[in-house]
Structure 1
Amino acid sequence: MSVQIHPTAFVEEGAILHPGVRIGPFCHVGPNVELGAGTELMSHAVVTGHTTLGENCTLYPHAVLGSDPQVIGVRAPPDSRLEIGAGSVFREFATAHSGSPKSGGVTRVGTGCYVMVGAHIAHDCRIGNNVVMANNVSLAGHIEVGDHVWFGGSAAVHQFTRIGRNAFIGGGAILVEDVIPFGSVVGNHAKLAGLNVVGLRRRGFSKSDMHTIRAAYRAIFEGEGLFQDRLAAAAETYAAQPLAMELIDFIREGGDRPICKPA
């Protein structure tokens, strides 16, 4: 398949365009950009910096990928880059920045992600596969997001936060703490509201899986005694249950932020 470039687009020398790439009117593609086969840039989209897009990605009008990190006084060095997985979609005015030099210099977005209007992925984030970010979601720097996480509109997440896979972040949530895998959080500041039951069902978790996750959740967050004691007891009780241990290990691994708990 041939590459299609509109006459008004500006593709700088050095850019790598794989077969089937389509670049619409008034787009700008920088010299260190690589666009995977079948990727499409609609009008006024910009891809700059050291940025790689996988196959069959789509950028809607005015999406901007690969700009320098929003860190005062920092300009991205040559090894600062942005990597986007295959099949990801960035809607109108969505943005993702390259990594910062002191943190390894890489921002990664997985395959099959859907980033809606005005959403932002900051420097050094690690975004898993099939993540959905609704309109105006804002992720600060150094955030880790697992696979199949859904963000409601206008949610905002503090830097260095971890979000486990299959979690749900409610619309308008202001999140300043880590979210367990399978968890659902809402509010300002966001609190754990239970499990992402709807999301788990949609992704084919069995009744047995749901029962295991729910039992571990209750043992950790609803039992008697100190939180750390409940966590240790749950680790013994569910040592042979991989899904329960995924939740438990996420908490025990810890991070820069505390664990989000029920109100």
Structure 2
Amino acid sequence: MAVPARNVNPDMPIILLDDISVTFRTRTGSLFHPNLVHAVRGVTIKLMPGETIGIVGESGCGKSTTANVMCGLQAPTSGRVYFENTDVTRRTADLRRKMGRVVSVVFQDPATALNPRMVVRDQLLDPMLVHQIGTSQEQEMRIAQLVDLVGLPKSALRALPGQLSGGQRQRVAIARAMALEPAAIIADEPTSALDVSVRAQILNLLTDLKRDLGLSMIFISHDIQTVRYISDRIIVMNHGQIVEEGSAKDVFERPTDAYTKSLLGAAPSLLHPTLGG
């Protein structure tokens, strides 16, 4: 049984990064003149309801730092962050709580993202307890909906993460991210730790969630072919900056930046033929 996503204003961005920059101090240099690393420089991204934006680039290009700013794990050095028109750049505990209802995160490695000592049922229940959502009966109904939503058998609810396959663990992580019916999901390299055939299944699942629930998504990957399959719009990052942005079709058929062209030429598809992309 599909669970409808919560109501959102179709004309209001779910996430807006406005001219975001992130600068880190390194351990090199002197006390008064430390060396600086400009991880993100002048990035503006607007995620609309129902849209999937793919952010692609090589390791160190700034895409994961950008994702961390979106989900509150990293404060920007400059610029503003908005969630549904609310300025959340400087986040209080109350703002973090509200943000947790709007945006959820699916991390790269479910083996480390899930608590190895909690059975799957408790992993899915935990977000509802933290946010005090629903009665005990409603919570149990939601847990049953979630395992159905991500294609897991109900027997998985009694399993520990270590008793599941990598693909099943990532399905649990996706189900947990969906527990509070967020408006958007940030998926940071969610398939890179999986083998090719399982990768295809997880991408198909995310595509189904997008279609059936009207879910918005930020999908981050180093593989531009994977990004192409799932995204409406693609952002290419290099050296902390956006070097190209456009519809998936335009970026692939008419790339304008030399770096984008090099990504397209150098990266064979890592997808399985069952994706049919």
Q: TM-score range by the shorter chain?
A: under 0.3
Q: Larger C-alpha radius of gyration, 1 or 2?
A: 1
TM-score, length-normalised on structure 2? 0.25
Give the TM-score normalised by the residue count of structure 1: 0.26
Higher share in helix: 2
Higher relative contact order (CA 8 A, sep 6+): 2
